[in-house]
Amino acid sequence: MFYVSTPIYYVNDAPHLGHAYTTVAGDVLTRWHRQRGEQVWYLTGTDEHGQKIMRTAEANGVTPQEWSDKLVEEAWKPLWQHLEIANDDFIRTTEKRHTERVQEFVQDLYDKGEIYKGGYEGPYCVGCEEFKTPGDLLEGDLCPIHKRPVEWLREDNYFFKLSEYGERLLEFYEANPDFIQPASARNEVLQFVRTGLQDLSISRSTFDWGIPIPWDDKHVIYVWVDALLNYATAVGYGSDPERFERIWPADVHLVGKDILRFHAVIWPAMLMANGLPLPGKVFANGWLMVGGEKMSKSNLTGISPRQLTEHFGVDAYRYYFLRAIPFGQDGSFSWEDFSARYTSELANDFGNLASRVAAMIGKYFDGELPASAEREEAVAGALAATVAKADRAIGDELDFAGGLGAIFDFVKLVNGYLSEQEPWKVAKDTSEEGRARLATILYTAAESLRAVAVLLNPVMPGTAEKLWASLGAEEHLGALAEQRVAEAGQWGRLPAGARVVKGEILFPRLES
Ligand code: MSP
């Protein structure tokens, strides 16, 4: 089973562009693998315990549970639906299926002697829900990520013996060089672990919005230990061994780079301590930036995913961020850049190609796809190479920008082919050879679009579906979702005789 997870998001606020970025990436990755014909499990959810949520709820005069319920149902789930996220499950950390299993997991570590009671004091950032090392702080004792003052916390807590796992972790990274990606993220973690790990405080006793420590109910479990375990509890850890066996472990944990250490250090150490198999990969994506700062609720200046989808449409939204920003690097959002790509790549290169080809087949062949007299080797060869490249980039390397770049280079190539062949001129030649030539040109273009629909389906499912319908492909080849990536590059699948109709415009002109 190809199992992919997103971080579970804090429900202190509504989702913004940064959250949607990771969730869309995971959706494209998993749709791609489904289209390879693999069994796939895509998990997302919400992180609902801890001080941050508790304080937000208090400030709004409701209980943390009421607050979480409201945000999950009114903000998070509806946005994922709106963005066509095809997750297989949605886990909330306040669900019983989670809380009970988390207690069992922690109890198990306690029984194994991995947890002891101790005291700790240090600067704590509630935004990160993390103790900071004094050396990491900015001037004025500000958290380097949230740029807000940290709090001094002194508590008697339970500790996990994380410090004992440094060597084993380094050996594991060594033996699994692809475990942490991209390379910059891997290097950061290696350096961090090499400097030596401290034991991890895994309980809190100064507030109670969390899962009680099973052997000492004056403490609640540290929100990060609780949260990380969602990846296990959601797929049947401790409750459904058969299911757990089938899905576990995750192939890819997608995370933002700010939460890399939790996933690449603490999480594997917890699993080692418990004796569970470790995940295949932790991939850290970069940040969406605004004015040189990590985009966050406070500096969003009012842009929400829905404002962008209203203007550009859902499919263009899903496309834009993955195409414009190399996955793993930071990137800025700007209306100008989005508009420019929309117009040149989506509307002109791709949308116009689809409507021109359908229009010409309508005009010259009454909408019936003609048989091709010969095979255009240059186009067919370019298609096969494109499929191989996109499959490796998107499916294996999570290089969405590279994969989409390859697909759109092919779209450009087909445009170039039409400009060169000038079918509108060939159409004036009514001789048998002229008709045969025209048939070859238009068949070649339509067959190319057939493949493009398959390749773009994971990224822009609505648009790909429209194109599939306009090519009359379903009747002969079946549902678009059933098309396999491996077959996309085989030339000549769309049969002569398919009913081609000029469908609606794929990417309408933007309103100014
Ligand atoms: N609840 C934890 C994750 C627990 S996972 C076991 C958390 N939640 S969060 O809501 O604060 O952030 C979730 C994810 O959103 C993180 O991966 C974070 O990197 C990502 N992003 C938040 N702002 C972002 C950008 N501006 N750009 C890209 N991703 C961003 O951390």
Q: Work out the average pLDDT over 379-402.
A: 98
Alpha helix (H) residue ranges in 291-372: 305-312, 314-324, 335-341, 353-365
Give per-residue pLDDT as tens, 436-477: 999 999 999 999 999 999 999 999 999 999 999 999 999 999
Per-residue confidence band for 120, with pLDDT thresholds at 50, 70 and 90: confident
Return d(Cα 252, Cα 490) in angstroms, integer.
29
Pocket test for ligand 1, best of 9, 76, 265 (most atoms within 8 A of CB): 9
Q: Are 80 and 44 in contact (CB under 8 A)?
A: yes
pLDDT of residue 293: 82
Q: Is the peptide bond before 15 cis (omega within 30 degrees of 0)?
A: no
Block residue for tokens 């010259």: 364
Ligand 1 centroid – CA 287 distance (Å): 9
Token pair listed for 497: 């005789």
Q: What is the pLDDT of residue 301?
A: 59
Mean pLDDT computed over 412-416: 98
Active site residue: 16, 253, 263, 389, which one? 16
Rounded Cα gap, residues 459 and 327, in angstroms: 15
pLDDT of residue 5: 98
- Asked whether the predicted pLDDT for residue 284 surpasses 90, the reply is yes
Mean pLDDT of 94-120: 97
HSE toward the beta carbon, residue 498, CA cutoff 13 A: 29
**What is residue 48's predicted lDDT score, i.e. its pLDDT?**
98
- Compute the half-sphere exposure of residue 295: CA atoms within 13 Å on the CB side of its CA: 24
Q: Is the pLDDT of residue 298 over 80?
A: no
Residue 182, preceding peptide bond in cis (omega within 30° of 0):
yes
Q: Is the pLDDT of residue 297 over 80?
A: no
What's phi and psi for 165, nearest 5 deg?
-105, 0
165, 225, 458 from 85: Cα distances, Å: 37, 26, 10
| pLDDT value of residue 257 | 95
Closest atom of ligand 1 relative to the 267 alpha carbon: 6
| pLDDT tens figures, 304-314 | 899 999 999 99
pLDDT digits (tens, 9 = 90+) for 158-209: 999 999 999 999 999 999 999 999 999 999 999 999 999 999 999 999 899 9
Does the annotation place 146 within a ligand binding site? yes
Judged against a pLDDT cut of 90, whether residue 71 lies above it is answered with yes
Nearest CA, atom 10, ligand 1 = 9
Give the whole-angstrom CA distance, residue 240 versus residue 100.
13
Q: Which is more confidently placed, 329 or 298? A: 329
pLDDT reported for residue 302:
59
At residue 50's C-alpha, the angle toward residues 62 and 76, to 5°, is 65
pLDDT at 300: 62
Atom of ligand 1 nearest to the CA of 288: 27
Q: Residue 284: which residues within 8 A CB-CB, separation 6 or more? A: 180, 181, 182, 185, 255, 256, 257, 260, 264, 328
pTM of the entire predicted model: 0.96
pLDDT for the residue numbered 294: 86
- For 374-383, the pLDDT digits (tens) are 999 999 999 9
Residues 124-171: tens digit of each pLDDT: 999 999 999 888 899 999 999 899 999 998 888 999 999 999 999 999
Residue 381 carries which side chain, given as an amino acid letter?
G
Pair of tokens at residue 299: 């500096």
Question: Is residue 21 a contact partner of residue 321, using CB atoms and an 8 Å limit?
Answer: yes
Give yes or no for residue 5 CB within 6 A of ligand 1.
no
DSSP alpha helices (H): ranges in 325-431?
Answer: 335-341, 353-365, 377-390, 400-421, 423-426
Does the C-beta of 9 come closer than 6 Å to ligand 1? yes
Q: Is the pLDDT of residue 503 over 80?
A: yes
Query: How crowded is residue 426: how many other Cβ atoms within 10 Å of its Cβ?
Result: 19
**345: pLDDT strictly greater than 70:** yes
Q: Name the token pair of 23.
A: 């969730």
Residue nearest to atom 8 of ligand 1 (CA): 9
Q: Among candidates 468, 472, 442, which has minimal Cα distance to 454?
A: 468
SS3 5: strand
pLDDT at 90: 98
- The whole-chain average pLDDT of the chain stands at 96
Band of residue 486 on the pLDDT scale cut at 50, 70, 90 = very high
Query: Residues near 369 by Cβ (< 8 Å), separated by ≥ 6?
Result: 361, 442, 443, 446, 471, 472, 494, 495, 496, 497, 498, 499, 500
Kindly compute the dihedral angle of the four CA atoms of residues 20, 21, 23, 27, in this order, to the nearest 10 degrees.
Answer: 120
Cis omega before residue 305 (within 30°)?
Answer: no
CA-CA-CA-CA torsion sign (305, 306, 309, 310)? negative
**pLDDT-based confidence at 333, cuts 50/70/90?**
confident
Residue 6 pLDDT grade (very low, low, confident, very high; cuts 50, 70, 90)? very high
